[in-house]
Amino acid sequence: KVKAVHVVEAPSVLPKVTNIIAVASGKGGVGKSTISSNLAVALAKAGKKVGLIDADIYGPSVPKMFGSENASPKLIQIDGKDRIEPHERYGVKMLSIGFFVDPAQATVWRGPMASNALKQMIEEGNWGELDFVLIDLPPGTSDIHLTLVQTVPVTGAIVVSTPQDVALADAVKGINMFEGAGVNVPILGLVENMAWFTPAELPDNKYYIFGKDGCKKLAEEKNINLLGQIPIVQSIREGGDNGTPAALNEDSVTGMAFADLASKLM
Ligand code: ADP
């Protein structure tokens, strides 16, 4: 089990959210959004109230992964203040930069614009009472990451990586950023994605395409938790493309792997 206590000076932001978890990666394309989406669904399936904020301006893929590309969250007024009503699917309340801007334009935003958009989703979203809010960050270490830790009391960060050396090297940069002076966000653990591949016709064979146990070894070296190892599975890719996250299918091996990942946070 992961326990994290993070005391910050601004408890008024998202006061009714028990755990605010940043999902980060060093490199792009390692499956950060896939893990965020499936983890959110698995937490909801376990009976938790869950929110998901897609702050990946360089590729806001959460709407597609939830089949919610056409959602347009409503602006509402509560106590005279403008609020954005999150879109809800599969028991997960979500807001994405993709709901508000053409992704092709968001990629040319400068850091401050992206940071403001994240701030707005956090502060003006009508999130209500939630057990978890997951924040799918852009890859790397940027202004947005600093805005996040300065805006909300982040409980901890999850770092997603493949076991490949170049991905691990960037994951270390992410870990160092969160643990660094002035940021001090505890690392809840690493998720090793694309840990191996097993073809359907050879169920006993595991092929370590990106190397074996890279995150496991890094976790041991850095004395942090390895929250889980998720293999390369066709249904994970298909679920992402179809808007039906693999974690919805609780009885599948993959669904169970995401349920196990979620249980580490509860
Ligand atoms: P990131 O958010 O790090 O850029 P994505 O979550 O968008 O990465 O994943 C990149 C691509 O890899 C997507 O096409 C996704 O469907 C696929 N993918 C991610 N994880 C897996 C996995 N475990 N098995 C199969 N495909 C995966």
Does ligand 1 come within 6 angstroms of the Cβ of 24?
no
Tell the residue nearest (CA) to atom 12 of ligand 1.
Answer: 31
Highest mean pLDDT among 109-118, 149-158, 238-247: 238-247
**CB of residue 163 inside a 6 A radius of ligand 1:** no
The CATH number of the structural domain formed by 17-263 is: 3.40.50.300
Residue 42, φ and ψ in degrees, nearest 5: -65, -40
- State the distance from the centre of ligand 1 to the C-alpha of 170, rounded, in angstroms: 17
Tokens of 175: 């870990």
ipTM above 0.95, yes or no: yes
User: What percentage of the chain reaches a pLDDT higher than 70?
Assistant: 92
pTM, two decimal places: 0.93
pLDDT at 247: 98
Q: Is the CB of 29 under 6 A from ligand 1?
A: yes
Atom of ligand 1 nearest to the CA of 34: 6
What does the pLDDT look like over 153-200, one tens digit per residue? 899 999 999 999 999 999 999 999 999 878 889 999 999 999 999 988
> Which whole number is the average pLDDT over 233-260?
96
Question: What is the predicted pLDDT for the residue at 58?
Answer: 76
Which of these, 110, 222, 115, 109, lies nearest to 173 by C-alpha position?
222
How far is 255 from 236, CA to CA, in rounded Å?
9
What atom of ligand 1 comes closest to residue 230's alpha carbon? 23
CB within 8 Å of 164: residues ≥ 6 apart: 210, 211, 214
Judged against a pLDDT cut of 50, whether residue 10 lies above it is answered with: no
Q: Which two tokens stand for residue 48?
A: 């938790």
Q: Residue 142: is its pLDDT beyond 90?
A: no
Query: 28 a known binding residue?
Result: yes
Say which amino acid occupies 63: P
30 is in an annotated binding site: yes
Mean pLDDT of the 212-228 span: 95
Query: What is the mean pLDDT of the segment spanning 102-122?
Result: 76
Q: What's the CA gap between 145 and 101, in Å, rounded?
A: 20
Residue 12 in marked binding region = no
DSSP 66: T
Q: Which residue type sits at 180?
A: G
Determine the residue of 34, 58, 136 to mutate for testing ligand 1's pocket, defined as the one with the most ligand atoms within 8 A of the Cβ atom. Answer: 34
Backbone CA torsion sign across 69, 75, 79, 80: positive
**What's the confidence (pLDDT) of residue 6?**
47
Q: Pick 110 or 163 by higher pLDDT.
A: 163
Partners of 132 in the beta sheet?
19, 50
Q: What number is the average pLDDT over the span 119-126?
A: 91
For residue 233, the ligand 1 atom closest to its alpha carbon is 24
How many angstroms separate the alpha carbon of residue 142 from the centre of ligand 1?
Answer: 21
